[in-house]
Structure 1
Amino acid sequence: MSGAEKLILVGQIGGAFGVKGEVRITAFTADPMALMAYQPLLKADGTPALTLISARPDKAGVVARVKEITVKEQADALRGQKLFVPRDRLPEPEEDEFYLTDLVGLEARDLDDAVVGTVKSVQNFGASDMLEIAPREGGPTWYLPFTREAAPDLRISEGWLRVVRPTEVDERDEA
């Protein structure tokens, strides 16, 4: 896999389901059964994690029979394992839609169109998506809520987004 290939988080192993080696997978896709089409599911480093043989819908995703797991203990040992697929295996988003990973690498521009940094990552600590911005001049990264107020203009095809920097970040820069 090339280093430039972006991986998209599509699920997480929840542990064993029953005693015959089936595994519960929480799906982060609109259609949980779509996981069957994205084979094999990968680890964060791009190496294969799971190959689903069969799956059926469950309240949080799917319950699957998996090639790599034959007993309950193997499934339990993988609990928490995040599952990814390469970006190019997913369908192209509709117009005015995007995958969060498409934001990584965009220039962050202020209201005067000056480049203030680059989107380093998109995190979610439980409340909402946050953009981690690496400052252009170096130094510690800072976070910005990914809201219309904080990021009012998004131009993925042009490689940038407009940001309204939090007061704390502006004050830190002036110190």
Structure 2
Amino acid sequence: MPTYSKLILVGQIAGGFGVKGEVRVTAYTAEPMALMSYGPLLRADGSVGLTLTSARPDKNGVVGRAKEIATKEQADALRGLKLHILRERLPEPEEDEFYLTDLVGLEARDPEGIVLGTIKSVQNFGADDMLEIAPAAGGQTWYLPFTKDAAPELHIADGWLLAVRPVEVGEREPD
């Protein structure tokens, strides 16, 4: 089975559409119809979640038929199911571009080159992307905003990024 870090979230089942077993899928891709070209869409554990056999564009994604769904009730029962594909199914990014998932596993180093930890995940809680970092010394993970100020240098091929921790409330900037 593929590991979660190698899966890319591409959509989510929004429920049934109509009464003939069609399913509405919210797409998290730039081009919603790309969901048809990825083959089986996977659950977070790597098992097959949905295999679209036909689709048409909808306001938030696609509406279509799936091998696993025959009725509106079956489609509604899968509402909320997150759909993924293997990272390898995506084209290689252009030069100076990357997929957020490519950041997972990189070392986060401070300006002196000291390893602060490893990027465990990239989260978005509604504002900007946040890098969840597992400390090198162990303990609770912490978050670094994924901004140009906080992560000014990416060295993906070399396995690290520069992490500049924001000043904590109550702390002063060094003189």
Pairs within 5 Å for 1:88-99: 88-99=88-99
Call closer, same or farther: CA 1:38–1:56 in 2, change over 3 Å.
same
SS in 1 for 2:139: coil
- Output the CA distance in 2 between the equivalents of 1:82 and 1:43: 6
Instruction: Give the gaps of 5 or more residues in structure 2.
Output: none
Does the aligned pair in 1 maintain the 2:17–2:23 contact within 8 Å?
yes
**Pairs aligned (count):** 170
Sequence identity (%): 74
Contact in 2 for aligned 1:44/1:83 (Cα 8 Å) = yes
Q: State the partner residue of 2:16.
A: 16
How much has 1:3 moved relative to structure 2?
4.0
Post-superposition offset of 1:30: 1.1
Please give the residue correspondences for 1:37-116 in structure 2 after superposition, counting only pairs within 5 Å.
37-116=37-116
Gaps in structure 1 of 5+ consecutive residues: none
Q: Which amino acid aligns with 1:133?
A: I
Q: Which SS does the other structure have where 2:118 is aligned?
A: strand
CA distance in 2, matches of 1:141, 1:43: 25
Structure 1 CA distance for aligned equivalents of residues 27 and 63 of structure 2: 10
The answer on whether the counterparts of 2:4 and 2:44 sit within 8 Å (CA) in structure 1 is: no
Query: Matched residues in 2 for 1:47 and 1:3: separation?
Result: 11
For 1:163, the equivalent position in structure 2 comes to 163
**1:149 — aligned with what?**
149
Distance 1:4 1:57, change over 3 A: closer
CA RMSD of aligned residues (A): 1.5
**TM-score, L = length of structure 1:** 0.93
Q: Which amino acid aligns with 1:71?
A: T
Match of 2:29 in 1: 29
Q: Please report the TM-score for the alignment, with normalisation by the length of structure 2.
A: 0.93
Tell me the distance in 2 between the aligned counterparts of 1:96 and 1:56: 33
The match for 1:121 is 121
Is the partner of 1:167 in helix, strand or coil? coil
State the shift of 1:96 in Å: 1.1
Instruction: Give the letter aligned to residue 132 of structure 1.
Output: E
